[in-house]
A = this chain, B = another copy of it.
Amino acid sequence: MTRQDLIALIRERRSFLCVGLDTDPAKMPAHLQGERDGVFRFNRAIVDATIDLCVAYKPNIAFYEALGLEGLRQLKLTMDYIHSLKKPVFTIADAKRGDIGNTSERYARAFLDPKGDFNFDAITVAPYMGADSVQPFTVYDGKWVILLALTSNKGAFDFQLSEGREGTPLYQRVLQTSKQWGNEDNMMYVVGATKADMLADVRRIVPGSFLLVPGVGAQGGSLEEVCRYGLNGDCGLLVNSSRGIIYASNEMDFAEAAAREAQKLQQQMAAVL
């Protein structure tokens, strides 16, 4: 999905919500636990209930890998289902990959290749290994690399906020350096909602780029704060909520409950747009 198509979708749905499909079988409703294709059936119900309220889905790949080959089959079923719908939606493999150049090429193929098993629009990538680990993700037309800049966890303080010789935190050097590797049409950044005030610093360096913002809800981030510092003229935000939506209920009404929570966020977003 191109930048223009994404912006149009945000305007049409009056939403910049990304729903995190971090599906944990133990937290699914009892009637789906242990059922064949239970994870897929859970995801399908969440997608059906939320697709008019959001613009993106973001499965965190770890949740599927933890279930072994069978989990990855559930992920494929989920992606096949999303692709089978006639409704446009942006899909993000939250995979946090990155390796030397010829190896990153293979991760790019695994997640972004239109002929591959998943065909995501975007993938999250860790910057530690530098240019050649990131650039292979930028070569697919209409596909995106979403580079980790400032994450929402406590560990972000260990290195991301450590200052270089000239006093600039590492995450800002990542933002600055990465502008040589991609552009506003193929690169976004992860900036955690739990550090919303730092979005102003992020915006000084990448004013026009889209930001994927996790951490709203369960992790404590505030949508209002994120919008105050992060919005730009094209919206420029994808705000993710996972647990707050998909586990809003673990009863038979889980999909309706997810829709209600998604709608609350969508309405706040519509008011801002």
A50 within 8 A of B: no
User: Which of A124-132, A225-233, A249-257, A258-266 lines the interface with chain B?
Assistant: A124-132
Contact between B110 and A132, CB atoms less than 8 A apart: no
A133, closest chain B residue (CB): B155
A33 within 8 A of B: no
Contact between A160 and B100, CB atoms less than 8 A apart: no
Contact between A128 and B65, CB atoms less than 8 A apart: no
Q: How many monomers of this protein are in the complex?
A: 2
User: Taking A110-B68, A165-B164 as contacts, is the C-beta distance between A60 and B154 under 8 angstroms?
Assistant: no
28 contacts between A and B (CB under 8 A): A60-B103, A62-B99, A62-B107, A63-B103, A63-B106, A65-B107, A66-B106, A66-B110, A68-B110, A68-B118, A69-B69, A69-B72, A69-B76, A96-B97, A96-B126, A127-B128, A128-B128, A128-B148, A129-B155, A130-B156, A130-B157, A132-B153, A158-B177, A159-B170, A159-B173, A159-B177, A163-B164, A164-B165
Which chain B residues border A15 with CB–CB below 8 Å?
A: none
Contact between A128 and B131, CB atoms less than 8 A apart: no
Q: How many residues of A contact B (CB 8 A)?
A: 57
A41 within 8 A of B: no
- Give me the interface of A with B, judged by CB distance under 8 Å: 22, 60, 62-63, 65-66, 68-69, 72-73, 76, 94, 96-101, 103-104, 106-107, 109-111, 116-118, 126-134, 148, 151-160, 162-165, 167, 170, 173-174, 177
Contacts A96-B98, A126-B126, A130-B155 aside, 20 further interface pairs with beta carbons under 8 A come to A62-B99, A62-B104, A66-B109, A68-B116, A68-B117, A69-B69, A69-B72, A72-B72, A128-B128, A129-B160, A130-B156, A130-B159, A130-B160, A132-B153, A134-B155, A158-B177, A159-B170, A162-B164, A163-B164, A170-B170
Contact between B130 and A154, CB atoms less than 8 A apart: yes
Contact between B165 and A103, CB atoms less than 8 A apart: no
Which chain B residues border A163 with CB–CB below 8 Å?
A: 164-165
Which chain B residues border A22 with CB–CB below 8 Å?
A: 103
Cα A110 to Cα B75 in complex, Å, equals: 15
Which chain B residues border A126 with CB–CB below 8 Å?
A: 96, 98, 126, 128-129
User: Taking A68-B117, A99-B62 as contacts, is the C-beta distance between A159 and B110 under 8 angstroms?
Assistant: no
